[in-house]
Amino acid sequence: MAVSGSTDFELDVSDYIEEAFERCGLQVRTGYDLKTAKRSLNLMFADWANRGLNQWTIVQRTQALTQGTSSYTLGADVIDVLSMVIRRSDNDLAMSKISRDTYLNIPTKSTQSRPTQFFIDRQVTPVIKIWPTPENSTDVLHYDALTRIDDADTFVDTLDVPFRFYPCLAAGLAYYIAIKKAPDRVTMLKAMYDEEFFRAQSEDRDRASFSVSPNLQFYRVR
């Protein structure tokens, strides 16, 4: 049996728009059709960020610390910080994520020591606040950041989406376009989108070994 041997199938923005319009029973006829579809695509990416974890958008970043400084501005593309360690003398020491309320109620924010806790102030440009305040300028934060999906800027752009999400992307864009241009297909296309998103999101997760061991504390040998 002959096979292609290639694994480089990829669609650009215009391909996804054409596919979505076809699912709506429509054709792309005007520049405005392209413009409104691209806008819907970027809005859908924002919705994906709100729906939960997208593993491929997690990146590991670092932040050098300055003695006496407890707040650091992160990149504007950061949505959230999932986990963090502080590296000191080649040792990674875990830090705990705390809520806004917990951070607010720390009475001694200026105390200097090795930071053990962090709070993410999720403004338009997020800020990380750590406690205690760093006692030196040699420690470095290492953190996993959940970041935005790259925008669809031009119609020839390929998208920052892994292969397993291609069907979900096409189904979602078709649903978004149907809301505006093919209301008779909204129910059908939404059901297809929900199914594809569930399948893709179920695949897009961490996998780790899992085992259950009984607690033998209360067992007696007879």
- Using alpha carbons, list the distances in angstroms from residue 216 to 210, 213, 219, 221: 19, 9, 5, 10
Dihedral sign, Cα of residue 159, residue 165, residue 167, residue 172: negative
Q: According to the model, what pLDDT value does residue 206 have?
A: 59
Binning pLDDT at 50, 70 and 90, where does residue 172 land? very high
Q: What percent of the chain has pLDDT over 90?
A: 72
Burial of 18 (0-12, 13-18, 19+ CB in 10 A): middle
Binning pLDDT at 50, 70 and 90, where does residue 194 land? very high
In whole angstroms, what is the distance from residue 199 CA to residue 54 CA? 13
Q: Which helix (H) or strand (E) holds 37?
A: helix 31-51
Average pLDDT, the chain: 89
* CB half-sphere exposure, 91, CA atoms < 13 A: 5
